[in-house]
Structure formats: structure tokens, C-alpha cells
Structure 1
Amino acid sequence: MAVLGWSSPDERMCVGPSRRVGPVSGRGRVLWGVGVTVVLGVGGVAALGLGGADPVPASSADLPPATAKVVATTLTRTERVAGTLSHGSAVPVPVGAQGTVTWLPAPGAVIGRGQAVYEVDDRPVVLLFGATPAYRSLSPGATGGDVRQLEENLQALGYGGFTVDESYTTGTATAVRAWQQALGVPETGAVQATDVVVTGGEVRVAELKAQPGSRATGPVLTCTGTTRVVVVPLDVGKQHLVAEGVSATVVLPDGKSVDGVVESVGTVATSGPAQPGATPTTTVEVVVSVADQGALGRFDSAPVDVLLVSERKEGVLAVPVGALVSLGEGEYGVQVVENGVTTYLPVETGLFAAGQVEVTGEGIAEGVEVGVPR
């Protein structure tokens, strides 16, 4: 009676086409180790299906420890690269107004629309949302996109009495005076470029560059966005793995995985310092966004790994890698189990990924049951 011994699932190879291996004769002894080996019975000659022997029912000793079905699936191979979880690159916020810095927010503070970014001579410099930096004074008679931007912010802050357009009217000036009164600053009805800081949304204070009491010169603080992202200095040789919108997986320091999407791929390559005896690396900055911020836990900044898809094949037939058996001479197959009968079929292997391997060959189809280690 045939007896099966199982090899380590780490014995893997990709092989070419092979001959069909028939059912195991009851006169031979099969060992699933380095290869399928035949030991001759007394006075007999064991053949691996080459003589056309018919399958014979297998006893419990012949059957594999467990089975799995051939599945039609998508296999994805990934490559692991290092990244850093953070709130993104910090941007300096310069002081426009002359005077003394009298108040600064704490590092980590989140500043929203209409809130003070800092104060000079006890006068708040307020955050507004938009795409156009404050570059000129706005007062009645001014026109342009920056006027519309100001009016949109005033409306969002609850002020009205004007039409949101590109004209700074007396209605706009009245709303500005009401806003200035609420801020506790002189009610001029005009907005100076030094009165506001414009960003695309809420900001988070990263680092203070000045202290209360210092003269208002140069940057007073740096800020980032409020959403955490992963920044990857990707080797330029691996740029083919990424593009905007491509999925990625972020592996956190605690081992948890979070779904991400490549948000941007830098267009400027930079050379990093070389390790002793090593070639300097040239990288581009890749930013991976994470929609589920709650899944990132309490990490504000941390080293992480990012899994990028290096190869993907859809609609292939696959089996667990452990289902592969060596048939000798560099050839591999699987043990098919059907109605209590076991048969070895040679296979060609393709992509190995996530513990599965792509297989093709005569008799290999979706739903076919194959032997695997327990």
C-alpha cells in the first residue's frame, strides 16, 4: 500500500512542462519528500503511469493529510518599502506685520477658518481658506478673484449683506467691519494683506520658530495639514510600481495593516547620503493617503512599511504553494484526489504570491481537489 510523506512547504521552484504522472501502484511506495520516488516491490517493476496503469482506490494511508481546491483568482505580488507616517511636509508661516509677537499657538494645535494663527502687538492674524495668497489691500472698489475669496470666507463665517462676486462693495465693507469688531481690531472696513494667512484648509502647528516677545521677522511657525499621510522616499528604480490613484497597504509599527492610495508622485529626484562603501541612492517623494484616519490609531509620527503591487495577474488558476510536489528532475506536479483515488498530474507554475501559486496543465481546472499538508 502506498504511503505518503510530505515535504516542507518552503521547497519551491518554477518548472516547465512535464510528462503526466499516472496513479500510484499498490506495489510501489511513494515518498513525498525531495521528489516522488518509487521503490520497487519484490519481483515487480513500479511505473509512474507510463505503462497506462489504471487508478486504484486509495486507503486512508494513501490519502493526503488534507486537501484544497484549485481556485480561479487574482494573484498579487507586493514589494515592501519604508516610509514615515506624519502630517506631511511642514510649511513656514512668515510674519507680514511689523511689531512684536505677542501670542503663538502650541505645537500640535489645529487652526480653523477665522481663528488666529498668531498675534502681533495683540492683533490677531486670521486664517482664511483659499488658493490665492493675500498680496494686496482690499477695500471698496477692488475687484478680482481674491475679493471673491474674501467674500466666500466672510459668508462661511456667518456674515452677509453682500453678493459673493469679484466686486468689493459697500456691503462687503460693512460685513468686514462687523468681522473686525468681533476680532477686537480697528473697524476700518478694509483688509490688509498682513491681516490674514491663506491656506487650502485647516492647519496643524508643527514647530514654533519664534517666541512671544520677539520681533516679528521671518517665519514664526511651521504648519502642516491636519490629515496624516505616509511619505515614502522611493528609489527611482522602483517608480514603475507607483502612480496616482494606485492602491497601497500601510503596515503600522503594531503590525496592523491599513488601506492607502498613492496621492502624489514627486517629479524631482534627490540623492541621499551614501552609507560607507555603498552607492548614493536617488529617490522621489511618494505620498500615500489613508482615508480611514481612525485606523491609524494614536500615531502622529512613526516609521511604517508600505506594500506596493509589483505584479498582478487576474483570472488564473492557483493552489496553495504546499500542494506542489517534486516529481524529480526539476519537474513538479500536484496530487489530485477524486472519489478516493489519487493521481499525480504535472503542472507548470507561474506567479507565486500570498502563499498561492499559479498552475496550469492537463487536467487542472477550477474545483479540482489537490492534496496539501495539514
Structure 2
Amino acid sequence: MFTEEKADGDTVAAPDAHPAPRRRRSRTLLVATACAVVTAVAVVGALGLGGGGEAPAAPPREGSTVAVARTVLAERTKVEGTLGYGTATPLPVKATGTVTWLPEAGSTAGRGDTLLRVDDRPVVLLYGTLPMYRELGLTQGAGAEPGAETGADTGAGTGADTGADTGAGTNTAPPAASAPPGKPAADPAAPAAPPAPTTPPSPSRHPLHGMDVLQFESNLAALGYRGFTVDEDFTSATERAVERWQQALGLPETGRVGLGDIVYAPGRIRLGKAGVRLGAAAGDNALTYTGTTRKVVVDASAQDASWAVRGTEVTVGLPDGTPVRGKVASVGGEATAPEGADGPPTVPVTVTVADQRALGRLESGPVTVEYVGRRRENVLAVPVAALVALAEGGHGLETEDGRFVTARTGLFADGMVEVSGPALREGLKVRIPR
């Protein structure tokens, strides 16, 4: 109830307006409107998710974006190796006597160089694979050469022997020979003249034949000596060339090459630490050698050595991080267990480096060898950091506008991963989340 005042000051009662029902109707209208909005959102969501369509884009998260790239992926593996000159090999020194001079360790020697001196005689390096196994020179025969000294033998065997035999058999003086007219007769009592001396037959000399002769003559010619034919025969012409070579070495000019005068090696060598001291007796272990080019040796696991194929290109990492190109030169055929440690058997893999100058002054030390395993060409790839784990399992990628797409993964290499899927294409921008 409320009152109404008239103009003359009287107050009258007015009917009740019942305000409470009107407030309830306002609240009912607001609730109905909110339900309609929720229903509309639900309908829109159903239309967006139904029938296999893509989900609406969520607000993008922070992070950088990259494009899906088409590229080549290669699986690279690093193993440890050792830089050096290879395994040292003993030089087959056959000279006998006292060592009177030795070279410095690490020095190099080539064809015609002196390796060491034994009894102050040089032992010379020549190139070849056949070892020195005999003395080289003209061979000495026992009989006389055909047609030599025939007249001397005939005269000595006819007159002298016959007369001596006859006189010895009669025991009477021979009749006095009559002197020529005008000359006195010979005195029978005078002693007989001694027989004329005979020259003993000289031994014949024959050429020496063999492949070792060809190897030696090839070296002699390479050193600049001429006047003989390079073949398998050691002739008198070869002998004269040897005498000139001996003269240059300060040796007696005998024309013969002794068993200990030469040591053969495949080529130029680097000498290692001597196995004997000055004044000691020479022997097979007097000197060791290696090649003159640096190489890398890897003890590769026999189980994972499928990459070690002759000719395979690798990258050698020096201690300062410098990469150098290398190539597999040889692979050992026998696996050995590591010394003093438990582990799988290994095989030695030798890697050569063509550009020796790229190695700098480093002669030995630890290095790494990187090789390529599996390789995938013309594939889609993204950085590994772009992968996200999906709630339903597997991996996906977040697009630039916040959508998530499924991505099947393949080869992982160099921080990249191979991806594939129906929604992926080259150039698609995906996010790398922070």
C-alpha cells in the first residue's frame, strides 16, 4: 500500500503495485538468454568437430616458427682414432759386425741413402719387395773357358812329359848330340834346363740370373748408373757399374754386392727408434721403420664395422676441432679382444689423409673419425625440438595458428627428424615451443 497526496493536501490510498513478481521475471529472462548462448556455442563446436574436421585454432603459444623443409638426412657416427705413421716394422738388416753409426729417430730415408753403418761400411736403402737373400756378382766356374790356353796345355803335355818319361826309364845317359858346324858340342855333364812354366787355367765367370738381379739393376739405373741392360742377368757390364757405385760410397771396388750391403723397402721410409746402441752387434732388430705419410687407425667394433669399407669417405676431427677429409684404406681381417678391458672384439681400420698439409704439424695424437651410416634423400624434416607428444600417443607438430597435426617420425640426424603425414607439406610453418 502507498498513499497519494492530492493538491488540497488530502492523502488517498493507492493500490499495491506488487513489485516482487516483476523482479522474478527479469531473472528468468537473463537465465534463458545465457542458456541460449551456451547452446549456440555447443552447436558451433559440434559443427566444427563433427565429421573428421580440424579443431578450431587455439590461441598460439609463445615460441619461434620454422618451415618444414625437404632435404637429405644422413646418420653420422663418431668413433675414436689415433693419428700416427702406422705400425713400425723391423728393417731386415743382414750386415754382421759392430754398429758404428745410427740415424736419428724420425728421420726419413730414400733410395740410395745410408741407413746405418756396420764396421764403418754403409748399409744402403733400395726399393723393392724381394728381400736380399744372396750375394750379387758374376758366378765363378771350376773349368777353363772353351778354347782358352789350348796351345800351352798341348805343348806341356807332349814334349816335356815324353822326354822325362823316356829318360827315367833307361837309367843310361842319352847319346851326345852332335854340335852344329862352328859350335862346340854340349857338355853331357851340364845340368838339364828347367821346364818352361805353365799358366794354370783361370776359373770361368758366368752371369748371375734371377728376379733379384732385375730388382737391383732397376735401382742402380734409377740412381743414375748406365752402361748395362736392366734385365735378370748380372753381367760384366753390371759389374763395372757396381764398381762405380762402390767408388761413390767409398767402398772397395769389387764389383760384387754383399748380402748385408743392401736393405730393401717398398719406398721412402721414416726411421723409428733404434733397437741397438752404438758399439753393439748389428741384427734384424737394429732399426724399425714406417711410411712417411700420416694416417689414422681406428679400433672399430667388429659388430658395428659395416661402415668400414675400403674407399668409404670419412671426416677426421683434429684435437683443435679442424675437420679433415679422409678415406678408408684397409680393414683388418682378424678381430681381437681389447687389452685390459671388457668389451666387444675390434678390427683395425686404417684411414688415409690425402692432404697431409691439412694435418698441420701434428704427428701423433687422438682424433675422431666421423662416418655416415643410414641416409635418406628427398624427405620432409623439421628440428627435433618442434616435435610435441600427443595425448592420444605418438608425435605431432603445432602449426603457426595453434592447430596440432599428426607427424610420423623417421630418421633422426644432425638435430633434425624425418616427418611424414597427410597434413604435412614443404614450407608449412610449425612452432618450436619454448
- Structure-2-length-normalised TM-score: 0.67
Shift of 1:227: 0.9
- Within 5 Å, give how 1:319-338 maps onto structure 2: 319-336=382-399
- Structure 1 residue 101: Cα displacement: 0.5
Report the CA distance shift for 1:139/1:321 in structure 2 as closer, same or farther (over 3 A): same
Do the aligned partners of 2:117 and 2:123 also contact (CA within 8 Å) in 1? yes
CA deviation profile, 1:263-319 (whole Å, cap 9, x unmatched): 1111122223344xxx35422221111112122222211122222333233333322
2:272 match:
206
Partner of 1:18: none
Q: Is the 8 A contact 1:68 1:372 kept in 2?
A: no
Q: Does 1:301 find its partner at 2:364? A: yes
Equivalent residue number for residue 70 of structure 2: 71
Q: Deviations over 1:144-172 (max 9, x none)?
A: 32222222222222222233332323333
Shift in alpha-carbon separation, 1:194–1:70, aligned structure 2, 3 A: same
Give 1:221's aligned residue.
287
Q: Are the aligned partners of 1:70 and 1:370 in contact in 2 as well (CA < 8 Å)?
A: no
Contact 1:83–1:303 (CA under 8 A) maintained in structure 2: yes
From 284, 287, 291, give the equivalent of 2:350. Answer: 287
1:186 matched to 2:252? The reply is yes
Aligned to 1:164: 230
Contact 2:67 2:430 in 1 (8 A): yes
CA distance in 2 between partners of 1:373 and 1:152 (Å): 73
- The residue that corresponds to 2:296 in the other structure is 230
Tell me the SS of whatever aligns to 1:175. helix
Alpha-carbon RMSD across the aligned residues, in angstroms, is: 3.0
Q: Which runs of 5+ in 2 are unaligned?
A: 1-39, 139-206
Please name the residue that 2:143 is paired with: none
1:154 aligns with 2:214: no
User: Is the Cα–Cα contact under 8 Å of residues 55 and 403 in structure 2 kept in the other structure?
Assistant: no
Q: Structure 1 residues 115, 64: CA separation in 2 closer, same or farther (over 3 Å shift)?
A: same
Deviation at 1:63, TM superposition (A): 8.6
The correspondence for 1:245, drawn from 311, 314, 319, is: 311
The Cα shift of 1:68 comes to 3.2
| Whole-angstrom CA distance in 2 between matches of 1:330 and 1:311 | 27
Please give the residue correspondences for 1:359-370 in structure 2 after superposition, counting only pairs within 5 Å. Answer: 359-370=419-430
Q: How far, CA to CA, are the matches of 1:48 and 1:245 in structure 2?
A: 62
- For the residues of structure 2 that align with 1:68 and 1:82, how far apart are their CA atoms? 36
Q: Deviations over 1:45-97 (max 9, x none)?
A: 879974435988x99x7796242341231x22233322211100001124311
Q: 1:183 to 1:53 in 2, by over 3 A?
A: same
What code does the residue aligned with 2:363 have? D
Q: In 1, Cα distance between the equivalents of 2:304 and 2:272?
A: 31
Asked if structure 1 preserves the Cα contact closer than 8 Å seen for 2:61 and 2:433, the reply is: no
When structure 1 is superposed on structure 2, of 210-219 and 193-202 the one drifting more is: 210-219
Alignment pair present for 1:195 and 2:261: yes
CA distance, structure 1, for counterparts of residue 100 and residue 375 of structure 2: 57
Contact 1:318 1:356 in 2 (8 A): yes
The answer on 1:313 being equivalent to 2:376 is yes
Structure 1 residues 53 and 312, CA gap change in structure 2 (3 angstroms):
closer
Give the Cα–Cα distance (whole angstroms) in 2 for the partners of residues 293 and 226 of structure 1. Answer: 10
1:185 and 1:200 map into 2 onto residues whose CA distance is 25
Instruction: Report how far residue 102 of structure 1 moved.
Output: 0.8
1:357 to 406, 409, 417: 417
Q: Aligned pair in 2 of structure 1 residues 217, 346: CA closer, same or farther (>3 Å)?
A: same
Change beyond 3 A, Cα 1:66–1:199 = same
TM-score, normalising length: structure 1: 0.77
- The residue matched to 1:270 in structure 2 has which SS? coil
Within 2, Cα distance between the matches of 1:349 and 1:280?
Answer: 32
Structure 1 spans left out of the alignment, 5+ residues? 1-41
